Amino acid sequence: MNVPAAPPDPLQTDIVLRSPAGVRLPPVETVWFTAGDGFRLNFRRLRPVDGVPPRGPVMMVHGAGVRANLFCPPGIVTLPAMLSAAGFDVWMVNWRASIDLEPSEYTLDDAAVFDFPAAVSTIREITEHDTVKAVVHCQGSHAFTMSIASGLLPEVTRVVANSTAMTPKVRRAAAIKLPLAMATLGRLTNFFDPQFGLYPPSFAAKVMDFMVDVTHHECRNKVCKHSSFVYGVGFPTLWSHRNLDAGTHDWISGEFAHVPVSLFRQTLDCLVAKHLVPARDYREIPELLGIEAPRTTAKFTFITGADNRTFLPEAMRASHAFFNSHVPAGSPRHGFKEFEGYGHLDMFLGKHASVEVFPHIVEWLSEDP
Ligand SMILES: [Zn+2]
């Protein structure tokens, strides 16, 4: 099997967060736990700021081929910092898609069944808090949505889902590119990796690097350009350069690495079905996932950038409509908000996100006790 080398920035990187004005943040801790199938995972935990009324735990779920650190770019006041300052106990989970962990050919199902139920159970046990809230992003949102809609996370009460959820849809060019990539590059390697731009270890990696070099001229950051190539079609795909400060643009070089082809194959199946579909045969995931009522009472807000070039905003509107179609009459409905000038990941990394995006998230999570 073609397994990628370890990412260049090793496990246990210190996270140093810029504090909101007048606030002294606690240090970020690491808490290990074991998923339901024995996979070792961890949290990067940021406790609430001292002296602020506590608001309970929030789990933050990153996307694929990145890690918990992704929520913590160096130059801005981050969402974890703002949540801590607002009294939340922040649990950034390195689920099995994390580049800090052993590479594996996982699917959304594996995380839905084994990672998130164990993660929520661990948070509840340590905090002695009955309920948990969540902020979930990209493929982390897919896996989490599969889990919660299958009834596996009954203790989760409020969710902010960014970019995509139950009904993924991509731009036409990406919808053509993905099956082509599966039929060609996907047969040469078991993992794609934006680090191929810096360290191409195989023939397939060198082919990808050549393809990126001839098609991407939008900046000089090889990992930025490879990320654009791997995650859709755009120049760049995951953010707008105007939204990133120079430090964050440099920093992403160490934040993107291996992602298994198995996940892209499942994503293709989901795009064809127009909703999440399981890739394994776990009895925990209902056959009618994405059609039957989600097995949760959690309140979601679905957020996305109006310029999202990874998953289309209209797909997030469809997820919102799907969840609302199953809300009992008279019950509170789910939220939806589209952010002008933002795309996929600059919702968390943008230099003005602490002013333009994060207050909406903090407010949504603060509404219920
Ligand atoms: Zn770039």
Q: The CATH number of the domain where 40 resides is what?
A: 3.40.50.1820
Q: Let me know whether 325 and 360 are in one domain.
A: yes
pLDDT, averaged per 10 consecutive residues of the chain (369 residues), comes to 46 72 91 96 96 97 96 94 97 97 96 98 98 98 98 98 96 85 84 89 88 91 90 90 96 93 95 96 97 96 96 97 94 95 97 97 91
Q: Let me know whether 160 and 191 are in one domain.
A: no
CB 46, CB 28: distance < 8 Å: yes
How many C-beta atoms surround the C-beta of residue 129 within 10 A? 15
Q: Give 160 Cα–ligand 1 centroid separation in angstroms.
A: 27
Q: Give 357 Cα–ligand 1 centroid separation in angstroms.
A: 21
Q: Give 262 Cα–ligand 1 centroid separation in angstroms.
A: 26
Closest CA to 112 of 78, 149, 65: 149
Q: Let me know whether 53 and 164 are in one domain.
A: yes
Q: How far apart are CA 180 and CA 134, in angstroms?
A: 35
Distances (CA, A) of 254 to 62, 72, 221: 15, 12, 11
Which pLDDT belongs to residue 13? 63
Q: Give 331 Cα–ligand 1 centroid separation in angstroms.
A: 44
Q: Let me know whether 147 and 243 are in one domain.
A: no
Q: Give 66 Cα–ligand 1 centroid separation in angstroms.
A: 16
Which pLDDT belongs to residue 8? 41
Closest CA to 112 of 94, 96, 133: 96
Q: Give 297 Cα–ligand 1 centroid separation in angstroms.
A: 40
Residue 17 lies in a domain: no
Read off the tokens for 312: 């289309």
Q: Let me know whether 250 and 290 are in one domain.
A: no
Look-up of token digits 């596996």: 152
Which pLDDT belongs to residue 104? 96
Measure CA 188 to chain center.
26
Q: Give 88 Cα–ligand 1 centroid separation in angstroms.
A: 33
Distances (CA, A) of 161 to 55, 142, 245: 19, 9, 24
Instruction: Please say which residue of 261, 293, 324 terminates a domain.
Output: 261
Which pLDDT belongs to residue 29? 93
Which pLDDT belongs to residue 7? 43
Domain residues for the domain of 248 are: 172-261
Read off the tokens for 69: 């650190």
Q: Let me know whether 56 and 202 are in one domain.
A: no
Q: Give 231 Cα–ligand 1 centroid separation in angstroms.
A: 14
Q: Let me know whether 161 and 306 are in one domain.
A: yes
Q: Give 244 Cα–ligand 1 centroid separation in angstroms.
A: 9
Q: Give 63 Cα–ligand 1 centroid separation in angstroms.
A: 19
Q: Give 337 Cα–ligand 1 centroid separation in angstroms.
A: 26
Which pLDDT belongs to residue 1? 43
Q: Let me know whether 206 and 194 are in one domain.
A: yes
Host H or E run for residue 302: strand 299-305
Residue 20 lies in a domain: no
For the chain, how many structural domains are there in total?
2
Which pLDDT belongs to residue 144? 98
Q: Let me know whether 179 and 153 are in one domain.
A: no
Q: Let me know whether 165 and 182 are in one domain.
A: no
Which pLDDT belongs to residue 369? 67
Q: Let me know whether 143 and 238 are in one domain.
A: no
Which pLDDT belongs to residue 205? 87
Q: Let me know whether 163 and 305 are in one domain.
A: yes
Q: Give 298 Cα–ligand 1 centroid separation in angstroms.
A: 37
Residue 49 lies in a domain: yes
